[in-house]
Amino acid sequence: MTKEEITERLQDKFGSSIEVAETNQPEPYIYVAPERYHELCQFLYRDPELDFDFLFQLGGVHYPDERSALGRTAPAPPEADAGRFEVVLCLSSHEKIHCMVVKVKLDKDNPEVVTTSDIWQAANWYEREAMELFGIKFTGHPDPRPLLLYDDWEYGFPMRRGWTGPDFIPMPEK
């Protein structure tokens, strides 16, 4: 299915809960509201036309105070510049050979969203990584232990922008 067809199908089903981002990439980039995130993922996985059975990657992004890098179809309300977290899913389908990107915007101070590891088991480790590196909570995750950092790590969430650790030396600006 082409980008337009996927977008159309999702807009038919989810209407106003999703926003399509303007981009010149061949895949659709869809923003979804956190409340309907799990439902959207279920739909993407189960729908026979879309059939997104492969979670390529799931990552977190931290925007402390910047606008999203992509243009948006609706004018941004001013609070959007207060900073946010995003969870980005890159999905692909083996049978239909199409890809798409789903993004969820989360609150800056208390980023929390439902886990998708019951839909794609691959999400399990990706979410653990996002939990320890960004501090994003995934409710309902079966195994919320840290993945990469060591046990007594107590220096915060390293991948957040502007993080400094005890021995962290920033690159000199040139």
Partner 1 sequence: MDQLIEKKMEDLREDEFLINMGPQHPSTHGVLRLMLKMDGEFVRDLTPYVGYLHRSIEKIAENRTYNQFTPFTDRIDYCASMPSNQAWAVAVEKLAGIEVPERAEYLRVIMTELNRIASHLIYLGVMSLDLGAVTPFLYTFREREKVLDLFEMTCGQRLTYNYIRIGGVSRDIPSQFGKYCFEFTKDFRKKLDDYEAILTENPIFLGRTKGVGVLPLDIAKNYGASGPTIRGSNYAWDIRKAEPYSVYGKLNFEIPTGKNGDTWDRYIVRMEEMRQSCNLIDEALGGIPQSDVIKTKLPVVLKPPKGEVFSRIEAPRGEMGYYIVSNGDKKPYRVKIRTASYGNLQVLAPISVGWKIADLVAIFGSLDVILPEVDR
Interface residues toward partner 1, by CB under 8 A: 23-25, 27, 29, 53-57, 59, 61-62, 66, 69-70, 88, 90, 94, 97, 99, 101, 120-122, 124-125, 145-151, 158-159, 161, 170-171
Is 85 within 8 Å of 111 (Cβ atoms)?
Answer: yes
Closer of 57 and 73 to partner 1 (Cβ): 57
Q: Please name the helix (run of DSSP H) or strand (run of DSSP E) that holds residue 139, with its range, or none.
A: strand 137-139
Q: Which is nearer to partner 1, 1 or 15 (CB)?
A: 1
In the 8-state DSSP scheme, what is residue 153? -
Name the minimum Å distance from CB 69 to partner 1. 5
Q: How far apart are CA 105 and CA 61, in angstroms?
A: 10
Q: Nearer to partner 1 by C-beta: 15 or 170?
A: 170
Minimum distance from CB of 17 to partner 1 (Å)?
A: 21
**Contact between 153 and 131 (Cβ < 8 Å):** no
Q: For residues 15 and 172, which CB has a smaller minimum distance to partner 1 in the complex?
A: 172
Secondary structure of 16-74 in the HEC alphabet? Answer: HHEEEEECCCCCCEEEECHHHHHHHHHHHHHCCCCCCCEEEEEEEEEECCCCCCCEECC
Looking at the Cβ atoms of 12 and 135, the one nearer to partner 1 is 135
Burial zone of 65 (CB within 10 Å; 0-12 exposed, 13-18 middle, 19+ buried): exposed
Which residues 6+ apart lie within 8 Å of 172 measured at CB? none
* Rg for the chain, CA atoms, rounded: 17
Tell the smallest beta-carbon distance from residue 33 to partner 1 (Å): 19
Shortest Å, Cβ 30 to partner 1: 12
Smallest distance from partner 1 to CB 61, Å: 5
